[in-house]
Amino acid sequence: MSQSFDVIIVGAGIVGAACAAECVEAGLKTLVLDRGIVAGGTTAAGMGHIVVMDDSEAQFNLTEYSRRLWLQMRDQLPAEVEYEICGTLWVAADEEEMAEARRKGEFYSARTARVEILNGEEVRRVEPNLRSGLAGGLRVIDDGVLYPPCAAKFLLDNARRRGAEFRAGANVTKLLSEGGVLLADGSRISAGHAVNAIGPWSPELTPGLPVRKRKGHLVITERYPDFVNHQIVELGYLKSAHSISKDSVAFNIQPRQTGQMLIGSSRQYDAEGSEVDYEILAKMLARATEYLPSLGKLSATRAWTGHRAATPDKLPLIGPSAEHERIWLASGHEGLGITTSLGTGRLIADLLLGRQTEIPAEPYAPSRFANTSTHHA
């Protein structure tokens, strides 16, 4: 075996980059490998919403912890990361959704995340382009948006400046149980630990891993500054993110610093291809137009797709794999990878060094799936 590292991180997406930054900070000799370029996979397709979520305590803990880390990092981030604390506005179309908005608001307030409940009029005052007749909404004040590829590169560059090595175009074919990786060219690199951070492709390197590809669509518009001010998400989003098997769309729009807007979102399983599905696109845009009636006349310059890494319980896999103590996971982040990349990086470094973690790490332990069926990759 040639060379030796303390940790090899496979996957230079935002999660891998965050892990690298934390590992190097923790004093570990770190190598990052990617079969392509930095942020070329799921990170390139992502929306870049920095958001707290409340599907579970564990999800809230990880998102809130991570969001706090982003906020702390705010002044260090270069301009091209375009980090804006614009807040999320969850909109309720009816009283049922408004009740959910209030419940959510109470959940967050009880855990010291700042929120504001808005009624139907107030919601239109902060977002004049929303349709009339909405029941109201919930503002989550410290949520924000950023541009993921530049954020990932920033994290990776930080890691490299502190001594981490990065090799683009390095195709890992196997994670070795004795530590290290095997590359497509037949060479081996040894390491104390190898971390699988390749997102939706994770089962290729860790057979049987319960990570499924969940396809999403996005559209970017021309520049329409001030058309929307927050990242606006419908409360029905949760219903689709909850759904395990159905194809679904939900209204989700993000203002970028450039004045362009990202319109999402869609979720599909068993859609391996990266081609744009016009039917899903149509449904997604129709849904968005229901909330923003003047959206129809705006100019869209591009549509694309990406695949999220989805797990059965909507929580990521962070920590040692069930089978091999030298093979670790940092994957399965579904639609929260950009947000929780920082928290994941911290947890990985803490766990590797046996340090006390700031939030409980057990809910994300890969071993929680050890006894469920492990269908082959």
Partner 1 sequence: MPDQINLRINGKSVSVQPGTLVAAAIAQSGVNGFRRSVKGQPRGPLCGMGVCMECRVTINGLAHCRSCYVICENGMEVRTDA
Partner 2 sequence: MPEPRLDFEVVVVGAGPAGIAAACAAAENGRRTALIDETPWLGGQIWRGQDVKTTIPEASQWIERLRKSKVTLLSQCTVLGAIGERTLLTEQSSGPGEIYWERLILATGARELFLPFPGWTLPGNFGPGGLQSLAKHGWPVAGKRVVLAGSGPLLLAVGSGLRAMGAHIISINEQTPLARLISFGAELIRHPAKLAQAVRLKASLLGTPFRCGVWPLKADGAGQVQSVVLTDGHRKWTEDCDYLACGFGLVPNVELPLALGCQLNDGFAKVDEWQCSTVPNVYCAGELTGIGGADAALVEGQIAGLAASDRHDAARSLFSRRAKWQRFASALATAFALRNELTTLALPDTFVCRCEDVTFDKLKDFSGWRDAKLQTRCGMGSCQGRICGAAVKVIFGWGMESVRPPILPARVESLNLHSTNLR
Question: Which of 99, 184, 244, 282 is close enough to bind partner 2 by CB under 8 A?
Answer: 282
Q: Is there binding between residue 37 and partner 2 (CB under 8 A)?
A: yes
Query: Which residues make Cβ contacts (< 8 Å) with residue 75, sequence separation at least 6?
Result: none
As measured in angstroms, the least distance from the Cβ of 232 to partner 2 is 15
Rounded CA-CA distance 355/334 in Å is 27
Question: Which of 2, 112, 299, 373 is close enough to bind partner 1 by CB under 8 A?
Answer: 299
Work out the end-to-end distance of the chain between its first and last CA atoms, rounded to an integer number of angstroms.
Answer: 27
Question: Which of 32, 69, 263, 330 is close enough to bind partner 2 by CB under 8 A?
Answer: 263
Q: How far is CA 42 from CA 113, 186, 305, 323, 331, in A?
A: 28, 27, 9, 26, 11
Rounded CA-CA distance 214/243 in Å is 12
As measured in angstroms, the least distance from the Cβ of 218 to partner 2 is 10
As measured in angstroms, the least distance from the Cβ of 223 to partner 1 is 8
Q: Is there binding between residue 167 and partner 2 (CB under 8 A)?
A: no
Q: Are 322 and 370 spatial neighbours (Cβ–Cβ below 8 Å)?
A: yes
User: Total residues contacting partner 2 (rule CB under 8 A)?
Assistant: 35
Question: Which of 25, 94, 102, 224 is close enough to bind partner 1 by CB under 8 A?
Answer: 224
Q: Nearer to partner 1 by C-beta: 276 or 300?
A: 300
Q: Nearer to partner 1 by C-beta: 224 or 304?
A: 224
Q: Is there binding between residue 80 and partner 1 (CB under 8 A)?
A: no
Contact track, partner 1, 259-298, x by CB under 8 A = --------------------------------------x-
Q: Is there binding between residue 153 and partner 2 (CB under 8 A)?
A: yes
Q: Are 66 and 342 spatial neighbours (Cβ–Cβ below 8 Å)?
A: yes
| Closest C-alpha among 362, 308, 249 to residue 14 | 308
63 backbone dihedrals φ, ψ, rounded to 5°: -70, -40
| DSSP class of 134 | -
Interface residues toward partner 1, by CB under 8 A? 222, 224, 258, 297, 299
